[in-house]
Structure 1
Amino acid sequence: MRIFHDAMLRARELTLGGKLMEATLAIQQGLGLAHKAERSSADDGPVVDMPHAPVPHGKPVFYSPAADVEDVAFREFVSPEETAGAAEAADTPAPAPVASSFSPGTFESGKHRYPYKVFVPSHPRPGLPVVVMLHGCKQDAADFAAGTAMNAVAEREKFIVVYPEQLRQANSMGCWNWFEPAHQARGEGEPAMIAALASHIASLHRADPARIYIAGLSAGGAMAALAGKLYPEVFAAVGVHSGLAPGAARDVASAFTAMRRGPGKSAALGAIGLPTIIFQGSGDKTVSPANADAIAQEEVASRAREGIHLSSTRSEVPSSEGRESSVVRWTDQAGTAQVEIWTIQSAPHAWAGGDAAGSFTDPKGPNASQAMVRFFMRHSNTNPRGK
């Protein structure tokens, strides 16, 4: 038995080394069959070792090496049980990637296919929040992501960010068409696409449908306000940076007027109706600060009409980078801010606290990305789509 055991160990080593002929001979030696194999080879007879020897059911039959037989590359034998196990493993979803990702995608809405980028933080898990970020004119998704540095905040705080991108055939400057009636009604145009994309991303990544937020800069801020107003079942809170209120304009001419002077008396302003945080530079020469004030006033007034009393507080926020800010918060009876407006002293038309790697950024200002996320995470949708 010891000889057989040693022969089997030797045969295993030879097999793993791809030397199948030597392995076969070692096995035959262990079985006491080597002399028959040698005789068969010398007599130029058949190479089958012992066709009439009793062979246990299911065991392989060994063959003697012949001069015209060559070794083949080793291939590991897999039992039927192991094969079944591998098939079962193949049907099991692969574990989520541990590294963060920033990937492009395309979303079809109506007759158009909108590009977007989505950031997923490392070690993602079900139930993460989603933040939708809408770029301004002359920007795209990648530029806006770089300038706002929102991905860095998302990695630290663990949420998903999606950046829809405007089509140049829809607006040659890359602006969202917040001022056109075709995009100001529920179920139509760009707001419908943005809301559908937000819900799609939340479903795709098993995010929390009650914690989907939207923010934007300039034309993106105006569109964020509009999308929030039209789709309160999708979005839980809104961030408007250097933007305009819903209904501030109905065409190109009134849009330019509102941007320069604020909404006119004939503007049919509408409240967003969701928790809203606003950022505005007092030195903005593109969008008048009067627009930020109009958004805040409309939100507070709409709550009052609903019988919701909000208390206001004002504070000054010094900046180590050189721009001071005044912050007014309107809080409910539970002490949660429902409306918040940041006025940044002498700041231009740019994302506050942004990264110089992107366009339209103001690194000297307070960090709008961090402040918006803190505001967002205090709110969730009580009647979200998808639940």
Structure 2
Amino acid sequence: MLNQDIIREATRLTRAGQLVEATALLQRMLGGDSAPDTPSRSGSGIALTGREPLIIDAKANRIEETDNHPQLEPATSQPRRLWALLDRKKGRSGIGLPGVIKRAPLSTPDIVPEGARFIESMYSSPAGSRAYRLFIPSRYQERPLPLVVMLHGCNQSPDDFAAGTRMNFIAEEQDCFVVYPAQPSQANQAKCWNWFRTADQQRGRGEPSLIAGITRQIMDDYLVDRKRVYVGGLSAGAAAAAVMGATYNDLYAAIGIHSGLACGVATDLPSALVAMRQGGPNHKVIFDDRPSVPTIVFHGDRDTTVHPGNGGQILEQSVRAVSTQKTVYSGQVPGGHAYTRTILSDASGRGMLEHWNIHGAGHAWSGGSPAGSYTDPRGPDATREMLRFFLQHSLPDE
């Protein structure tokens, strides 16, 4: 079979509910093997390698010198073991970092600075409902403050993501609200945002409408600077942030994408898997007539879960309407990662797009705290740089 034939067949199998068979076809294609006409079936599941597929424990987070496989993204409502099948053939860590071990439960000092608040609330609409956690800085005195929406990755929670990124601590310094919507397992088995589904890539529908609804609910309930509202995320959450930038550019002044994918590179599970492993195709651009949203991208060049080429595609999608000048810097975190920082500026010299290519880093939040999951403390500090970029931008006057 040609690759396009395999993708079409995998799509048909997915729509028929035969996700294991679809995964088997894609695994063989990505590994360069010829695809069988019918994957073998055994008992309660598929044993592609002659033994029971690996079940991933995704609650691990502290970096140790092992070679486990802590996270696989994205996932549908099917069990996470399906995602292990694609990575077994690769024979290396999908996170691009050493393996992990379990940690103790999070404590409040890991999540929120003293004197600030971190409250839980709920948003409901005809599209559904989502819980969320809202960080309120200690110096909030009924004056408008910027708002940052943070979308967690698969198998994460708002508390976990807050602890790992330490966004609340940087937001405390800068006087910002931060909200963390929670994706429940009922919506996705591995708590991934469903960035790859067509129904969840449209304004006013599905998960984009829920995330925008949470944003607006906070804007109504608190004094928020409505011209300085931002959205960022990690992995599946980063891909969802890209969707939000494409569908609600009148709501968000800038977006931050860490280890994610551009909006429109996938419309179903098979195309999502291909984009993750190989980079997306020459993707369609959604809403060509809408101006680009300022974007900052972080991606490790040893990411084996989401191909590093996806970072460049995000910039390609964002830069389509911007006349830019390009500046490239190189740097090194003392005792940590080297990086290449590319800035694309508009005609006035304002940085509209930034791409941080982090050398030797894998699929983890750069500069994050080991108190949370999927973090790489060796930097650079993506949280501080992301918020710095956000606060340089605001929505134009109407």
Whether TM-score is above 0.5 comes out as yes
**2:312 maps to which residue?**
293
- Please say if 1:317 is aligned against 2:336: no
User: Structure 1 residue 109: deviation in Å?
Assistant: 2.6
Give the count of matched residue pairs: 281
- Please say if 1:225 is aligned against 2:248: no
User: Root-mean-square deviation (CA), in Å?
Assistant: 1.5
2:138 and 2:205 mapped to 1: Cα distance? 35
User: Structure 1 residue 99: deviation in Å?
Assistant: 3.0
User: Structure 1 residue 203: deviation in Å?
Assistant: 2.1
**2:396 maps to which residue?**
382
1:119 to 129, 135, 139: 135
| Deviations 1:139-174 (CA, angstroms, capped at 9, x unpaired) | 111110000000000111110000001021110010
**2:301 maps to which residue?**
282
User: Structure 1 residue 112: deviation in Å?
Assistant: 2.6
**2:387 maps to which residue?**
373
1:147 and 1:212 mapped to 2: Cα distance? 22
Contact 1:328 1:341 in 2 (8 A): yes
Contact 2:292 2:319 in 1 (8 A): no
**1:302 maps to which residue?**
321
User: Structure 1 residue 383: deviation in Å?
Assistant: 4.9
**2:267 maps to which residue?**
250
**1:198 maps to which residue?**
215
User: Structure 1 residue 111: deviation in Å?
Assistant: 5.3
> Aligned partner of 1:234: which letter?
L
**Secondary structure of 1:298's match?**
helix
User: Structure 1 residue 300: deviation in Å?
Assistant: 1.9
**1:344 maps to which residue?**
358
> Aligned partner of 1:101: which letter?
R
Contact 1:134 1:163 in 2 (8 A): yes
User: Structure 1 residue 217: deviation in Å?
Assistant: 0.4
**Structure whose CA Rg is larger:** 1
**1:167 maps to which residue?**
184
1:154 to 156, 167, 171: 171
**1:75 maps to which residue?**
none
**Secondary structure of 1:227's match?**
helix
Gaps of 5+ in 2: 1-113
User: Structure 1 residue 222: deviation in Å?
Assistant: 0.4
Contact 1:192 1:227 in 2 (8 A): no
2:204 and 2:124 mapped to 1: Cα distance? 15
- Aligned residues with identical type, % of pairs: 42
Gaps of 5+ in 1: 1-97, 304-308
Contact 1:176 1:220 in 2 (8 A): yes
1:316 and 1:147 mapped to 2: Cα distance? 25
Contact 2:227 2:395 in 1 (8 A): yes
**Secondary structure of 1:316's match?**
strand
Contact 1:355 1:363 in 2 (8 A): yes
**1:333 maps to which residue?**
347
Structure of higher RCO (CA pairs closer than 8 Å, 6+ residues apart): 2
> Aligned partner of 2:246: which letter?
K
**2:32 maps to which residue?**
none
> Aligned partner of 2:264: which letter?
G
TM-score by length of 1: 0.71
Q: Which runs of 4+ in 1 moved over 3 A?
A: 269-272
**Secondary structure of 1:255's match?**
helix
User: Structure 1 residue 322: deviation in Å?
Assistant: 1.4
> Aligned partner of 2:163: which letter?
A
2:167 and 2:335 mapped to 1: Cα distance? 19
Contact 1:321 1:365 in 2 (8 A): no
> Aligned partner of 1:217: which letter?
L
